[in-house]
Chains A and B, each alone.
Chain A
Amino acid sequence: MGDDELIIGHRNSEWTGLGPIMEEDIAFSSMAQDKIGHSWALYRILHEELSGEDPDQFAFMRGEKDFKCCHLTEMPIGSYDFSLMRHFLFDHAETVRYNSLLQSSFLPLQQLARKVRGELKYHTLHADAWIIQLCRAGEESYLKMQTALDNCFQLACGIFEAGPDDKLLANEKVYPGEESLYEQWIENIYPVLVKASLNMPERKEPAFGGRYGKHTAYLQPLLDEMGEVFRLNPEATW
């Protein structure tokens, strides 16, 4: 979860200063910051509750193979239709995941889920408004959004790749497991797609591998850039 949020947060921040209009630039950048904030909160839980590394070291010093993010988050920003569709699919998935954590047996995650609920509500409101708006804005616009959905969908299904301990986590009631989250996600995005008259593609070959450290060629260059300043002096205090 933390890696997904760090990487998509970094990706979406690449739009800062280049957004289609000023108001959207501010909103999208602000949400990218939220994502990085969520990853920091998760890395802190790892650090404080599960004796993980220092959050900054963990974020900036790890190699590609130690990252567990899904392929969807790694893809370059492309054009705005792609980035918006990714934002829509990812943030609905994130919402489903955090909502499930409201009942988590692991208290720190339960508390975090309560804390980010309002932020996520805004993120999906923003995404839904744009998707519906652009799908009703003429043929060219509609076709771009349908193409973006077709391009994103197998990648987005890859969010729900079960990790090695999926069953254990579900049995311990930490969270309900990937398959259950996937079903809830489909249930949540479907009404929005209907409103936007978009056709939901079939799940064929989800882009799996990320949860086991297998990544696309786009991740390493992102990590190089993201950690460039930090690695000048990893001991520095920020």
Chain B
Amino acid sequence: MNDSLDPRINRLKLNKTDDPCKVEEGENWNIFEVFHQEKRGAHHEHVGCVHAPDAGLALVFAKEQFGRRKKCVNLWVVRSADILAFDVEDEDMFANNLEKTYRDASGFKVMEKINKFKAQAKSASDK
């Protein structure tokens, strides 16, 4: 196989197929999840991931990868390995959610009360 023009491809040593693949120390970087904040006080929203040797450089990379186009005031990075999640097979825990409509917030008729209160306040101030 010929060498690639791209040094990153050559570093993978793909043409040495017989040798066992050995990972050198420092070659295995961590994955960091990136969270983007559009304005002060807003939630940080997950936008993707970067891989980096440490959190500091992950933030440096995330800034250009996820903060350079749309509006952004801050970013978080969190090591993916530090995130605790359910297993895929535990998805059945959520299966009956759709049947439990009594848990929907849409059941509360709040607007009527708000409008009534507003009307009261208005008539009070008119007097």
| Interface residues, chain B, with chain A CB atoms under 8 Å away | 6-8, 25-26, 50-54, 56-57, 60-61, 63-65, 68
Residues of B within 8 A of A18 (CB): 6-8
Of A1-9, A106-114, A130-138, A167-175, the one touching chain B = A130-138
Main SS of the interface on chain A?
A: helix
Residues of B within 8 A of A218 (CB): none
| Interface residues, chain A, with chain B CB atoms under 8 Å away | 17-18, 20-24, 26-27, 30-31, 122, 125-126, 129-130, 133, 137-138
Q: Within the assembled complex, what's the spacing in Å between the Cα atoms of A130 and B60?
A: 10
A122 in contact with B63 given A17-B6, A18-B7, A20-B8 (CB within 8 Å): yes
Count, A-B residue pairs, CB within 8 A: 42
A30 touches B68 (CB 8 A): yes
A30 touches B64 (CB 8 A): yes
B26 touches A138 (CB 8 A): yes
Residues of A within 8 A of B65 (CB): 23, 26-27
Q: Within the assembled complex, what's the spacing in Å between the Cα atoms of A133 and B56?
A: 10
A133 touches B54 (CB 8 A): yes
Residues of A within 8 A of B6 (CB): 17-18
B53 touches A133 (CB 8 A): yes
A-B CB contact pairs (8 Å), 16 listed: A18-B7, A18-B8, A20-B8, A23-B50, A23-B52, A23-B64, A24-B61, A26-B65, A27-B60, A30-B68, A126-B60, A129-B60, A130-B57, A133-B53, A133-B57, A137-B26
Residues of A within 8 A of B61 (CB): 23-24, 26-27
